[in-house]
Amino acid sequence: MKKHNIEITPPDISGYKTGNTGVDYVHVLDSGKPGPTVMVQALTHGNEYCGAMAVDFLFRQKPRPEKGKLILAFANIAAFARFDFDDPDRSRYIDEDYNRVWNDDQLLGSRDSAELRRARQLRPFVDSADYLLDLHSMHEHCRPIMVCGVNGKGGEKSIAFTRKLGVPGDLLVDTGHPAGLRMIERGPFGDPKSPKTAVLIECGQHWEKSSAEVAVDTLMRFLAVTGILAPAQAEKQFRVERPQAQKVVSVTEAVVARSMDFRFARPFTGLECLPKAGTLVAQDGDKVWKTPYDDTVLVMPSVAHLKPGTTVVRLGRYL
């Protein structure tokens, strides 16, 4: 597996352990005025710490919400604590992916894992939020992507919200994650009739300097659009130029590895647009995946965490 340069240093967030909520690493900033409850989460995966850098930056600005409440949460602290420069992918999670456990059957059930215990702690905050931003990054070198949930299940309202943000240039709606429910799809977030809206930004490659810039920029735009910060205050910290246009990728198929023999036909990093239907994408034993239509877009291809049942790429098209 190829190695990536680590250009950014994991932030020291130990000072944020004790907040005002009774839950470690969760803080609520209350304006005392009517308004939305807005949540920002970093460290959904412990090796994706550009979001933690953005939240740390925000704390150091001593923000005061204009209205409503702002919830700031660092999620998988246990995984982040074991980050190792020599094996950076190891800290993605402890027992299982924290972002695949957000249906009630799992959260309210009897099964146990480090990630489920943490999700159960954060569930009341997630369920209280009117708007939610989940800060992520990607294993491969790919331009930023905003994941806007599932087609027909809240994806459209998340697209409309992201158009207000104006960033990034590529937006994604998909068919859901085969391995389990993501936080941005939970409850009202996944209900097109509910005004509650959640989005997930993939800021770029995990450890590139640019990913931290994208994380800060997106966070500040999010706080401005939701009314938590005055636009003039937030704009001072914008870091990325808005794209001339935003394009939506609609996913039609998730490619799930069947075995450890899964291989891509050639190196892909993400958002490649393959012009011809029938182009070989990957092979896993006798199973072959080819592009199902002209101009197939490859979304977040990676074998960094390969195991049977893992989604290794999604196939979609620009709307």
For residue 283, the domain's CATH number is 2.40.50
The per-residue pLDDT for range 80-128, each reduced to its tens digit, is 999 999 898 889 999 999 999 999 999 999 999 999 999 999 999 999 9
pLDDT of residue 2: 55
The long-range contacts involving 103-111, CB below 8 angstroms and separated by at least 24 positions, are 103/180, 103/181, 103/186, 106/180, 106/181
DSSP 291: -
* Cα distance between residue 272 and residue 288, in whole Å: 19
Structure tokens at 309: 């049942």
Mean pLDDT of the chain: 96
* Inside any domain, residue 62: yes
The per-residue pLDDT for range 17-34, each reduced to its tens digit, is 999 999 999 999 999 999
pLDDT of residue 3: 66
In terms of pTM, does the model score above 0.85? yes
The mean-pLDDT minimum among 6-15, 176-185, 262-271, 279-288 falls in 176-185
Give the domain extent around 299: 252-318
| Angle (nearest 5°) at CA 271 between 269 and 273 | 115
**Domain check: are 167 and 269 in the same one?**
no
* Inside any domain, residue 220: yes
**Domain check: are 170 and 295 in the same one?**
no
* Cα distance between residue 305 and residue 208, in whole Å: 19
pLDDT of residue 71: 98
Q: Which of 270, 268, 264 is nearest to 249 (CA)?
A: 270
93 within 8 A of 86, measured Cβ to Cβ: no
Specify the number of domains making up the chain: 2
245 within 8 A of 266, measured Cβ to Cβ: no
Q: What is the mean pLDDT of the segment spanning 33-61?
A: 98
Q: Which residues contact 181 (CB under 8 A, 6 or more apart)?
A: 100, 101, 102, 103, 106
**Number of other CB atoms surrounding residue 37 within 10 Å:** 20
261 within 8 A of 285, measured Cβ to Cβ: yes
* Cα distance between residue 106 and residue 123, in whole Å: 12
**Domain check: are 196 and 307 in the same one?**
no
Which SS3 state, helix, strand or coil, does residue 171 take?
strand
* Cα distance between residue 180 and residue 190, in whole Å: 14
**Domain check: are 275 and 155 in the same one?**
no
* Inside any domain, residue 216: yes
* Inside any domain, residue 246: no
Chain centre to alpha carbon of residue 223? 17
* Cα distance between residue 129 and residue 133, in whole Å: 10
| Cis? peptide before 168, omega within 30° of 0 | yes
Structure tokens at 67: 């209205």
The per-residue pLDDT for range 175-199, each reduced to its tens digit, is 988 889 999 999 999 999 999 999 9
**Domain check: are 170 and 278 in the same one?**
no
CATH assignment at residue 180 = 3.40.630.10
Q: Buried (b) or exposed (e) across 271-302, using 16+ Cβ within 10 A?
A: bbebeeeeeebbebeeeebbbeeeebbbbbbb
pLDDT of residue 178: 80
* Inside any domain, residue 6: no
Q: Domain end: 235, 270, 289, which one? A: 235
* Cα distance between residue 97 and residue 12, in whole Å: 23
